[in-house]
Structure 1
Amino acid sequence: MKKKSPLMVFIFFIVLSTCYGQKTVIENNTIDAKATAETKALFSNLKNLAGKAVLFGQQDALMYGVGWKGEYDKSDVKLVTGAHPALFGWDLEAIAKDDTDENLNENAQKLKGYCLQAYKIGGINTLSWHVQNFVTGKNFYDTTKCVSSILPGGAKHTAFTKALDQVALLIKSLKTDKGTSIPVIFRPFHENTGNWFWWGKPFCSTEEYKALWQFTVQYLRDKKQLHNIIYAYSPDRTSGNFENYMERYPGDNLVDVLGFDNYYEFKDLNDEKSIDLAVKSIGQICNYAISKNKIAALTETGQEKIVQPKWFTTVFNKIMNDTEAYKISYLMVWRNAHTGHFYAPYPGHPSENDFKEFYNNPKTLFLKDLGDIYGTINPLISSN
């Protein structure tokens, strides 16, 4: 069983909503002046983790794993450790694309079900969007220039807003039985410094990318009046070049979470130079995020098929032993699809024991460690 450190006590006590009989008021540090109480609390609780512990997440963890699919309350991570990830990643591709209304609705209901399940068991939902190319109708890997066409005044702007309407409909539908909106971390147009998505650096100008981000946030927040969204910016690796990271940064008034995706620099434990560059990048992001009262995260990472069984403890220790990088609030690995494509161990895999060691580290937080992550913070506790 995972032992609770003083930090775990801190996490459990964040549910306290009174301070000497007075109800605590949460300062709103999100980019949404109308953010819901639960959204403000989630943001604050994540931000206050900096330097204390790191949440672990995985993409599609409840949907399927190696050798199984669609079994309730199951994940490969839970099969190995006895606990689900704390954060669950999902993708919006299937709910907002050219398809029949019947298929879009079916896909949306399925995704909604998993988001609700994750929330009900106490987890956090984060949404990415592998969105189709609106110019060609092909998928996100079609790098035909698209961004200029979907901005206001562009030939495909209406198609883009229609897709955003589908995203908004899904996010708006995420409510508790009492009608409370469930917070989500939305991470659109990710890995934008790469050359594999149509919103990547070679295929749109800096100004176009920033305009796309600005329009998306303002459309969802202001036009659609969605106030349960935390917005995460996540380019691909920048190899310690913080200027490259910030080149397309939309601005402090449009971003809540500063993250980045990095597989390449963590893919080989023997390549210490690459790992050091990755850790340096994390530290740079942490420093900036904390200076702006925001959250820092490693939004996607992992080693496909975990060919080096000590990957988790080695990478995590590298991050946590760095005087700046250890301030990230969460990290997420990609999905477990099958034996040829997985990023977390499954029962019987050679990395299983190392992952259990990673799980038992008091600096890692899984679902069992969270308490009420959406609860009001008691400032006397959060300041400890």
Structure 2
Amino acid sequence: MILQKYIFLFSIIFIKNIISEKIITEAEDGKLNSKLSIFSNTNGYSGKGYVGKFENDDDILCVTMIAPSKGFYNISISYLASMGTKTNEIVINNIDSIEYEFQENSHFEEEHIGSYFLNQGENTIEFRKLWGWMFVDYFAIEKVPDEIMKLDFSKLDKNLTNPNATSSAIKLYNFLLGNYGKRIISGQTGKAGEFGNEDINQEIDHIYKLTGKKPALWNTDFIFKSKDVRDSFSTDDYILNGLSWWEKYNGKGIMSIQWHWNVKGLNDDVYSFYAKNTTFNIEQAVIENTWEYNKIVADINYIASLLKKLQDVNMPVIFRPLHENDGDWFWWGGLKHSKACAKLWKLLYKKLVNEHKINNLIWLWNGKIDKNTPKEYIDLVGVDIYSNVHGIFRNQYLKYFEFFDFKKMIVLSENGKIPNIDKCVEQDVWWGYFMTWNLEYILTEEYNENDFIKNVYNNKYVITMDDLPSFNVMNTNSNSNNNIQDSNNNNNNEDNKNKTTIEFNSDEINSFVIKNPNIFSIILSLILTTKYFLI
């Protein structure tokens, strides 16, 4: 088996060495704003020099790349970041972008930043300053075979993680699953701490006046529901408003709940969910019987009482606690708290599901993807993207889809600018839904122009409230999963027991297919003509 594997990999290396279609454009040949400069004092660059330093907020380098045909291309950048690791933004044709972290280095090296769709002929790539303070030598593109860019949604989980999920939660999950890869659900965040708010000139009302439609997915926040906040003021009508919303639309709406978890540290005078404003220690919070542990359990118990009222009227909820835990701005987030955050997620899940029997939740993870990620307690995966363009964000999408082994639906759990729906469809980037942030992100034209909003909400690929069934169904699920089942699973598993296969690590596959895409078609031919090696 080892010999067969290395014959295969050797073939890849051989073909790679005889084929090269990389197209390079030097950074110094691009359009530089007046504050950028061309340098040549560090060895190792190509061409006549390199561009830097990206010191000013409006520093932009724009190059034109000529693609021989329409399709996906790997884009690479040769760079020097001798002043430290820097994150900057790359914008392609003003319709896709990525904020990319360039690791500190001491010499020019080429970095693959992702695969992007390019038009035949001229395409623009902009390098925009975020952190700045680095140098760019050249940009390179390399065609990716179209065959490998089509995504496979057949592996998506058919079941919720909770075997006792209510019938309404199952119906909602199946609705999400049934539309995934076909249409994108519209979503809108409302006023913080409000539940089903439709006040005049606020978010939902604004969208309705513009488009004649309402978002399918609404959002509320437990921001004022921790004990530290309740001790300061009351919002007793919060759940009542939510129940009224549910009754008004007869269950023909989807509600997502996030939780900006306000707490005080032991010696704090004020509560906050921001790490810089509270001394509350998550590491202590996951140790049973500590002061911090008892404090969060009290909050969880209270949240359970609110969710129980929603469950009693058959309202399913997409639940998004501990959100954005990949960043360090919230007390539960940051790299150093990765393990503790995962433990807190499991504690929250087990308290709500096992102890309080809260079964109307679809659990959405929005954060770190590492060895601590609690995959077995996650139903959906959210990504938050605030971009300068109405993008597609395919590479961010793929990053998470691949990490979860293509088993979890990926959604935009927060966005500034609404993505370009038609381009998402064209490029097979099926965000399960988008969720535009509130206030100026939707109420002004700074981020989402009125005409753009109209087009989105009237796009045939976008699901609005008018398209929804009622999710208000009585619970008939008794200790069993009623989700869509694959009747062939057991037979397939039995058939596969005696099969001999060669398995490759996913990193190996990515290395020769994604990063060396121009050899893919020839590799396929090689496999077919030498298939006896794999028997």
Identify the structure with the greater helix proportion.
1
Percent of residue pairs identical: 23
1:291 aligns with 2:415: no
- Which structure has the greater CA radius of gyration? 2
Are the equivalent residues in 2 in contact too, given 1:289–1:295 (CA < 8 A)?
A: no
1:280 aligns with 2:410: no
Match of 1:301 in 2: 415
Q: Distance in 2 between matches of 1:218 and 1:353?
A: 45
Match of 2:271 in 1: 138
**Shift, 1:350, TM fit:** 8.2
Q: Distance in 1 between matches of 2:346 and 2:416?
A: 30
Are the equivalent residues in 2 in contact too, given 1:90–1:125 (CA < 8 A)?
A: yes
**Shift, 1:142, TM fit:** 3.3
Cα distance, 1:199–1:107 mapped onto 2, change above 3 Å: farther
Q: SS of the residue aligned with 1:166?
A: helix
Work out which of the residue numbers 433, 444, 455 in structure 2 matches 1:330: 433
Match of 1:316 in 2: 421
RMSD of Structure 2 on Structure 1 (CA):
3.2
Are the equivalent residues in 2 in contact too, given 1:260–1:297 (CA < 8 A)?
A: yes
For 1:230-269, list aligned pairs within 5 A.
230-235=362-367, 245-251=369-375, 253-263=376-386, 266-268=387-389
Amino acid of the residue matched to residue 234 of structure 1?
N
Amino acid of the residue matched to residue 197 of structure 2?
M
1:154 aligns with 2:290: yes
Are the equivalent residues in 2 in contact too, given 1:206–1:247 (CA < 8 A)?
A: no
Cα distance, 1:350–1:255 mapped onto 2, change above 3 Å: closer
Deviates more, 1:113-122 or 1:52-61: 113-122
Post-superposition Cα deviations, 1:288-330, rounded to whole Å, max 9, x if no partner, equal 55732x3221110014xxxxxxxx4x6333433323x22x211
1:198 aligns with 2:293: no
Are the equivalent residues in 1 in contact too, given 2:166–2:359 (CA < 8 A)?
A: yes
Match of 2:19 in 1: none
Q: Distance in 1 between matches of 2:448 and 2:343?
A: 46
Are the equivalent residues in 2 in contact too, given 1:285–1:296 (CA < 8 A)?
A: yes
Post-superposition Cα deviations, 1:162-219, rounded to whole Å, max 9, x if no partner, equal 11122111111115xxx543110110011111121111115x4322111011000001
Cα distance, 1:79–1:196 mapped onto 2, change above 3 Å: same
Q: SS of the residue aligned with 1:333?
A: coil
- TM (norm. structure 2) is 0.52
Deviates more, 1:55-64 or 1:163-172: 55-64
Q: Distance in 2 between matches of 1:48 and 1:287?
A: 20
- TM (norm. structure 1) is 0.71
- Structure 2: gaps spanning 5 or more residues: 1-156, 475-481, 485-535
Q: Distance in 2 between matches of 1:283 and 1:374?
A: 33
Q: Distance in 2 between matches of 1:343 and 1:104?
A: 28
Amino acid of the residue matched to residue 174 of structure 1?
L
Q: Distance in 2 between matches of 1:112 and 1:373?
A: 15
Match of 1:354 in 2: 452
1:227 aligns with 2:359: yes
Match of 2:160 in 1: 30
Task: Work out which structure has the larger RCO, using CA pairs closer than 8 Å and 6 or more positions apart in sequence.
Answer: 1
Are the equivalent residues in 2 in contact too, given 1:77–1:346 (CA < 8 A)?
A: no
Number of corresponding residues? 311
Post-superposition Cα deviations, 1:59-98, rounded to whole Å, max 9, x if no partner, equal 11742567459xxxx6221111111100001000112231
